[in-house]
Chains A and B, each alone.
Chain A
Amino acid sequence: MTLLPLGPVFLSILLFLFTAAITPLFAGRPHALVRVSFLLSAAASLMALAGGFFAVSNGAVDTMTLPIGLPDLPFYLRVDVLSGFFVTVVSLLGLFVSIYSIGYVKGFIGQRPVSTLVVFYCLFMAGMLMVLISDDAYSFMVSWELMAASSYFLVVFEDEHASNRRAAFIYLLIAHIGAVLILLSFGVIAGFASGFESFNGYTFSAMRSSTITPAWASVAFLLAFFGFAAKAGMMPLHVWLPEAHPVAPSNVSALMSGVMLKTAIYGIMRVTFDILHISSWWWGGLVLVLGLVSAVMGILSALMQVDLKRLLAYSSVENIGIILVCLGLAMIFASFNMSVLAALALVAGLYHVLNHAMFKGLLFMGAGAVLHSTHERNMENMGGLIHRMKWTAPMFLVGCLSIAALPPFNGFISEWLIFQTFLLSPVLPSPVLNLLIPLGAALLALTAALAARCFVKAYGVVFLGHWRGAHQHGVHEAGLSMRAGMLLAAVSCLLLGVLPSFVIRWLDVIPQTLVGGTISLSAHEFGWLWLTPVSAGRASYSAPIVFLGILLVVAVVYMIFHARKTSIRRAPVWDCGFGKLTNRMQYNSTSFAMPLRRIFGFLFGIKEVARAAGDPALSPMFMDRYIYHLKMRDRIWYGLYKPVSDASFWFARRVGRLQHGRIQIYLLYSFLTLIVLLVFA
């Protein structure tokens, strides 16, 4: 008996909706509500996880038609390997975050109504899963809007600050610009699928079999790519992301960064690889270039941040960039019919999708635990949390090591696969690409090194050293369920890093259906210990042996050198005889990033003012106080968005003159419109 995958996923969506629906029953009992609803959503995630996992491992396609919506326009649902993979990613992180949320959301009780958070959380999860299983443009757009709208309400959850409302508004605005582009793209494709008169062109299966001219295919691709990229947070459409992700509750930020961005990646893959099929190489070139820009600029911006969650949000821009680089490479290779290389690039990209969901979810959960306990998002006021949060600290460290692409954690596996793809690139029949691929590898290497730097900074400033803020009473360890959620994510980071060949064998069916190539045959002849994407001679990596090797060496060295009884004496830090070391003298986030501001500062608008205050006559060398101001401006916001928003306000004011607030004048407008229509009809 083969398990049909759509059933569990569908049931899980129903369970999410049910959970949202029963919220009013718990009015006045918020503790019970939080416990029941997040346990239910964990169960729902588990169900979807099973469905998604079997969809990929069976390689099955399962469809269903739901007679809801407009007459003659039913919802078509479908799970195939691609959507199955993304369902797995969404529900795996959904499971961890739901467990985490039991403890996290409890912290809001008494401060604000948690029921809205619960309702929109469930709708958000349901919306993401629905996006993944819908098989026609209509239900896709409905689910897409459900996802966008529910996440809007989650972003605006802490709505007492004007900045939060502004962030949510920008988010909603850009999400809708993206949605319009996606809708237009579907319109173009559907037009070729049915001719414009029939109704059936809106299903993806009709679109798949349509014959679309190359020019229009490119138009549809561009519309869809930019539409989805706006949601994915690709530069330069990313401006909403560092605004919206930090202000949302941390469990929601984990989901938004970890998996919601991935639904956009899913959309790009669905449209380009499945519906349109790749026709020309410049599609891939465009995706590759924009991915590289996002990766480098994203991590540079992340390094400049002092807000922990903003830093993580910018790092999501970077990781989306890396995924787009993989997709771009896959598209380039697919357009030249190099199916094995395309498969390798796709596997690298998909692996990174999974990895990023795990470690970014983990890091956002860790940031949530820090925020929960210190009520502080500004890293300049943190420090030394490793002594007070004994559980969160090592888990956050696992997240940092993973995202910095260090073995034996998972980030390294996808980075390794991407570099292999770059290195296996043969000489392509286009000089532009031959220039682009080495540059791409260089920029990707730069990104990886900068990511390591960024997360040394994040970890060092938040968890190490001394506390920098004014007071630190009430700093405490996260609760049991929060630790459990983080621990699960941390363990998956390690497992995905140590046992990559199982995962690759599992997801290898996806490139097989999308680009007709597979790396599995070459990858597994040497057994599960080895990762050999093409042949053992070209490259091999054995994650388990490296992991055990490091572990063994560290253990042996520890045993040898620790065995001897030397006393360990604790003493105050040597203060060079001044005796005046204060916690403000530590390196902080701004000073840590200072060399970088000097090197890459030209990419940003930086205004730095440092002056000394005090009486210079009294002591010219040692001033009382130094005052330092640093202003960073996102050039893209001021160069690209501000003019547009100013222009639209200007235009709106001009149009606004039509409004006088008198009913007679509005009636006159209607009358004139009718006359004009009658004349020209």
Chain B
Amino acid sequence: MMKAYPLLIEGLQVIIVLLGAPLMVGWVRMLKCWLQGRQSAGPFQPYRDISKLLIKDIVLAENASWIFRFAPYAVFGATLMAGSIIPIISVDLPLTATADIIALVALFAIARFFTALAGMDIGTAFGGMGSSREMMVASLAEPAMLMSVFTVSLVSHSTSLSHMAHTVMEGTLMLRPSLAFALMAFVLIAIAETGRIPVDNPATHLELTMIHEAMVLEYSGRHLALIEWAGMMKLFLFSSLGIALFFPWGIAVADEAMMLPVALIALVAKLALVGLLIVLIETRLAKMRIFRVTEFLGSAFLLATLGMLSYFMLE
């Protein structure tokens, strides 16, 4: 029984990631509709979208290679793997030890690598443009992300996610300048990585400015469903990663069954808040020109490096 408990939690977490991600996206869309005075389709619309896409037939471009067909599975697999590492409901997951924060960033990088390759596979201008831009955003966001999480791991003397969450949880509520910088950088990066306004617009298919949607323009049917689902999970995971690193209070610690409901409620409340924050940002800001994104991410990179520097210099 003692052995089975962590595995059970792990399984539960995977299910939460799989099922919670569309709900969170639905929540964000619903809030956005309300704020913009439109009528929303309810928080469950993403489930209907995914199941619709899963039923539909696939239309493949004539020269699509195996990369194009393999990419959705790789993207989905890598993202789900990332979802089983981040301490979302419990800090002591069995899989958190297998991969640390560096491996987590690399898992997201695998997903991106394959999406970008798939974008170039058909040989349309849109796909290549999307890949080029996505990799541009990533090549600036990924180092910033690493620097931001490294600051947390310097503070907690570990790169293991569960240790980092533990340390931040047990630490006093002291305002560390390094963590403040890291958090600011992390928010900017999370916006860029999940393709939200002001960096990318997940709702557009018509603009020349689109990034992520341009890469996956040729996808259809279950391939598209997997990619969309993985995208939703990415938003969910970045939110919960931010929660685990900077606001871990409430995540279950020991093997106590009693802690789980509390952890779940805390998770739902925090994610709802994150969703609200996203909607506020997206409603207040307009999408940036593509080359302003570099300034945006450059400042994230600088903030993160400042955080690390201030750890070495001040703490």
Contact = CB atoms under 8 A, between A and B. Distances in A.
Interface of A: 383-384, 386-387, 393, 397, 401, 404-407, 412, 415-416, 419-420, 422-423, 427, 434-435, 437-439, 441-442, 445-446, 448-450, 452-453, 456-457, 459-461, 464-466, 530, 536-542, 545-546, 549-550, 553-554, 557-558, 561, 564, 566-574, 581, 583, 585-588, 591-596, 598-599
19 contacts: A406-B110, A407-B106, A415-B102, A435-B313, A461-B120, A464-B67, A464-B123, A466-B63, A537-B160, A557-B80, A566-B58, A568-B57, A585-B124, A585-B125, A587-B129, A588-B128, A591-B132, A595-B291, A598-B291
B287 to A, nearest CB: 16
Contacts of A386: 65-67, 121
Given A442-B308, A449-B139, A557-B76, A540 B97 contact: yes
A541 B147 contact: no
Contact of B135 (A445, A456, A569): A456
Contacts of B222: 561, 564, 566
Contacts of B286: none
B120 A412 contact: no
Interface string B46-71: 00000000111111111111110000
Contacts of B249: none
A57 B122 CA distance: 49
Contacts of B218: 573-574
B298 to A, nearest CB: 8
A574 B127 CA distance: 12
B45 interface: no
Interface string B254-298: 000000000000000000000000000000000000110010000
Interface residues of B, number: 84
A423 B76 contact: no
Contacts of A545: 95, 98-99
B124 A464 contact: no
Nearest to B307: A438
Contacts of A441: 146-147, 150, 308
Contact of B139 (A405, A453, A542, A585): A453
Interface stretch (B23-31, B151-159, B234-242): B151-159
A406 B99 CA distance: 13
A559 to B, nearest CB: 10
B57 A569 contact: yes
Contact of B143 (A422, A446, A564, A566): A446
A460 to B, nearest CB: 3
Interface string B132-153: 1101101111110011001001
Contacts of A567: 57-58
A604 B98 CA distance: 42
A566 B69 CA distance: 14
A435 B150 contact: no
A558 B147 contact: no
Given A568-B60, A571-B61, A449 B122 contact: no
Where chain B touches its partner, the secondary structure class is: helix
Given A465-B123, A539-B159, A587-B132, A442 B147 contact: yes
Contact of A456 (B60, B78, B117, B157): B117
B98 A442 contact: no
A595 B143 contact: no
Given A441-B147, A570-B64, A573-B62, 4 more contacts: A407-B107, A550-B77, A557-B73, A586-B125
B301 interface: yes
Contacts of B12: none
B103 interface: yes
B98 A546 contact: yes
A19 B60 CA distance: 53
B74 A554 contact: yes
A47 to B, nearest CB: 37
Given A419-B150, A438-B312, A540-B160, A573 B124 contact: yes
Contacts of A445: 142-143, 146-147
Where chain A touches its partner, the secondary structure class is: helix
B81 interface: yes
Contacts, number: 262
Nearest to A540: B97
A423 B159 contact: yes
B52 to A, nearest CB: 13
A406 B109 contact: yes
Contact of A541 (B58, B100, B221): B100
A540 B140 contact: no
A545 B143 CA distance: 25
A442 B305 contact: yes
A538 B160 contact: yes
B131 interface: yes
Contact of B136 (A405, A419, A453, A537): A453
A384 B61 CA distance: 13
B54 to A, nearest CB: 7
Contacts of B88: none
B116 interface: yes
A456 B130 CA distance: 12
A600 to B, nearest CB: 10
B41 interface: no
B226 interface: yes
Which 6 A-B pairs have CB atoms at the shortest separation, nearest pair first?
Answer: A587-B128, A465-B123, A460-B120, A445-B143, A554-B77, A449-B142
Given A438-B305, A449-B143, A598-B291, A387 B65 contact: yes
Nearest to B143: A445
Contacts of B309: 435, 438-439
B196 interface: no
B136 A596 contact: yes
Given A448-B143, A461-B120, A568-B57, A599 B136 contact: yes
A553 B80 contact: yes
Nearest to A573: B61
Contact of A464 (B81, B102, B117): B117
A499 to B, nearest CB: 15
Contacts of B66: 386
A511 B177 CA distance: 37
B147 A570 contact: no
A464 B121 contact: yes
B146 A419 contact: yes
A298 to B, nearest CB: 15
A640 to B, nearest CB: 27
Contact of B106 (A405, A422, A439): A405
A538 B158 contact: yes
A479 B59 CA distance: 34
B163 interface: yes
Contacts of B56: 566
By CB atoms of chain A within 10 A, which of B81, B218, B294 has the most? B81
Nearest to A588: B128
A536 to B, nearest CB: 7
Contacts of A581: 124
A587 B143 CA distance: 25
Contacts of B61: 570-573
B193 to A, nearest CB: 12
A550 B73 CA distance: 10
Nearest to B154: A423
A365 to B, nearest CB: 20
Contacts of A448: 142-143
A592 B132 contact: yes
Contacts of B291: 595, 598
Contact of A573 (B97, B122, B128): B122
Nearest to B298: A599
A546 B57 contact: no
B99 A427 contact: no
Given A566-B56, A566-B221, A587 B127 contact: yes
A549 B127 CA distance: 30
Given A438-B312, A446-B139, A587-B127, A566 B121 contact: no
Contacts of B226: 557, 561
A435 B76 CA distance: 39
B15 to A, nearest CB: 14
